[in-house]
Amino acid sequence: MQANVKIEEQIQTLLKNTIILDRRYLDDEQLDRNEQFKVLEEIFALDVRDTEIRDLSSHFAPMFRGDHPVHLSLYGKTGTGKTVTMLYFLNMLHSLCGKKKIDMMYIHLDLSTPKPCFRVLNDLACYLDASKRYKKGISLDELMGKIEEKMKNYQGYFIIFVDEVDHVRRDLDSFLKFLVKRLPQTGSSKLVLVFSSNKLNWQENIDPRIKSFLKVNELFFKPYNAHDLQKILSLRIKKALNAKMIEIGVLEKIAAVSSRTHGDARKAVELLSKSAIIAEREGIKVTMELVDRALDDIEKDKYVAMIKSSPKQLQATLYAIIALSSKSKTLYTGDAYVGYKTFCDRIHLRPLTQRAFSDMVSELDMYGFIQARLHSHGRYGRTKEISINLPHEVSDKLKQVILMECDLNPVY
DNA sequence: TGTCCACAGGAAATACGGGGGT
DNA sequence: ACCCCCGTATTTCCTGTGGACA
């Protein structure tokens, strides 16, 4: 009896302190297409990305006169809404075309993770239902043929949205050549290509003959400013969180910090989400200080997540470096390599050559785990000076994580 | 000024693993 | 089942190098 009361009390307080009401709205991945569009609609209704949408409209307007719009290039850093805005726009365009009885279809090729040319074409073919999913073994030509075959009888507008084009590894040239020169010549469909990229110069390295065929209109997405971010965040708060548990100023702070450092909407929402999670776990309101802590946490998680998804060899390299550099102040490649080999021995991993090890070190340097500066000691040789400038807690955490990964999955 | 250390980092060769064709 | 092809990971081999030292 008494226990019942107690439990009820506890549940009551928990409910009262609940912050996250619907966590799906804190992570777009968990929303389905329609829900995403709904959220977008609300955001765009607040005049966010208004100019971009206007530009897009005017770019595609010729379609309604039976004209053929030229290709389009979108530029903007990650998280500035290129993908989201374009998808939203295409969706609208699609339904508008439906109303006006204009034949139109669009395809979104998502390259957020880099893929070789082959896979991209395969994806395209799959969307068109022109081929099954291959991993390897079929020639590019054959794939292209299948796609052409499928498109031969299509008459209407055909929009291909290539998201993050510069991520086509190996042979971006032949991929573009196919899209720009070969595909338009098959059948009578009106092909419109939309490219997005966060590199301004992605066109620089492509074959000039193809480049000249890419008569592109360009559209720039500016990073979100604090004002826009506030609108976006407040919408998320409305959808996902218990507004009573969020102190005044938190929203503004997150928006300000985010716009100052990156202007990335996804990261801003992530920060909000992280703050809420911490607050809920500790049963307190979301305060300004909590936002700072969430910021730290995100930073740490980044490293941990990255090392977790890295190959064993890279993990071993990092472990050896962390372990060694806590003992001595300056660490050189040779010593690091020796330490790495002993560690490999311990976890039954076949050690790499020094040459390959050196590449691992460079990679870790690139990712920001360590710093490796080339330094010459005169007749005592030239080597990299390796140092770590992560906070101790982070490197300790990394060590733990790596050990766990290795001990649980011994190789060889 | 020449030597020589202890590597860096480029190029080419080789190993590997997964998948299709037959 | 066997062979071939392709893309990627490593190895092998190699040339290059800043500067302390004699």
The strand pairing partners of A189, in sequence order, are none
Nucleotides of B under 7 A from a protein CB: 3-11, 17-21
Q: End-to-end alpha-carbon separation of chain A, Å?
A: 58
A358 CA: nearest nucleotide by C1': B8
Residue with tokens 């500066």: A373
Give the DSSP letter string of A73-120.
Answer: EEE--TTSSHHHHHHHHHHHHHHHHHHTT--EEEEEEE-SS-EEHHHH
Residue with tokens 């506030």: A230
What pLDDT does A254 receive? 83
Which residue's CA is nearest to the C1' of nucleotide B18? Answer: A136
Q: Distance in angstroms, CA of A349 to C1' of B4?
A: 35
Which residue's CA is nearest to the C1' of nucleotide C9? Answer: A356
Q: Distance in angstroms, CA of A384 to C1' of B4?
A: 18
Calpha distance A284→A118 (Å, rounded)? 51
Calpha distance A231→A154 (Å, rounded)? 41
What pLDDT does A3 receive? 67
In this predicted model, what pLDDT tens digit does every residue of A201-215 receive, in sequence order? 777 666 667 777 777
Q: What's this model's pTM, rounded to 2 decimal places?
A: 0.71
Which residue's CA is nearest to the C1' of nucleotide C18? Answer: A376
A138 CA: nearest nucleotide by C1': B20
Q: What is the mean pLDDT of chain A?
A: 81
Calpha distance A293→A295 (Å, rounded)? 5
CA angle A332, A336, A341 (to 5 degrees): 155
Q: Distance in angstroms, CA of A390 to C1' of B1?
A: 44
In this predicted model, what pLDDT tens digit does every residue of A110-133 receive, in sequence order? 877 767 777 777 778 777 776 666
**Cβ atoms A97, A151 nearer than 8 A:** no
Calpha distance A227→A85 (Å, rounded)? 18
Backbone angles phi, psi at A297, to 5 degrees: -60, -45
Q: Which of A142, A109, A145, A146 is nearest to A124 (CA)?
A: A109
User: Helices (DSSP H) in A30-81: which residue ranges?
Assistant: 33-45, 50-60
Would you tell me which residues have their CB within 7 A of strand C?
Answer: A 116, 118, 136-137, 139, 169-170, 311, 313, 350, 352-353, 355-356, 376-382
Q: Distance in angstroms, CA of A136 to C1' of C3?
A: 16
A119 CA: nearest nucleotide by C1': C7
A374 CA: nearest nucleotide by C1': B8
Q: Distance in angstroms, CA of A186 to C1' of B17?
A: 37
Q: Distance in angstroms, CA of A302 to C1' of C18?
A: 37
User: Helices (DSSP H) in A190-332: which residue ranges?
Assistant: 208-213, 226-240, 250-261, 265-282, 288-308, 312-327
**Cβ atoms A62, A69 nearer than 8 A:** yes
Question: What is the CB neighbour count within 10 angstroms for residue A233?
Answer: 22
Give the DSSP letter string of A185-223.
Answer: GSTT-EEEEEEEES-TTTTTTS-HHHHHH--EEEEEPPP
Residues of chain A with pLDDT under 70: 1-3, 14-17, 19-21, 26, 114, 130-141, 169-171, 183-187, 204-208, 407-412
Calpha distance A189→A130 (Å, rounded)? 16
A169 CA: nearest nucleotide by C1': C7
Nucleotides of C under 7 A from a protein CB: 5-8, 10-14, 16-21
Which residue's CA is nearest to the C1' of nucleotide C21? Answer: A379
Q: Name, in order, each residue with C-beta under 8 angstroms of A112's C-beta and a sequence gap of 6 or more.
A: A163, A164, A167
**Cβ atoms A217, A180 nearer than 8 A:** no
Q: Distance in angstroms, CA of A378 to C1' of B2?
A: 14
**C-alpha dist (Å) from residue A370 to A312, A315, A322, A338, A395:** 17, 13, 9, 18, 10
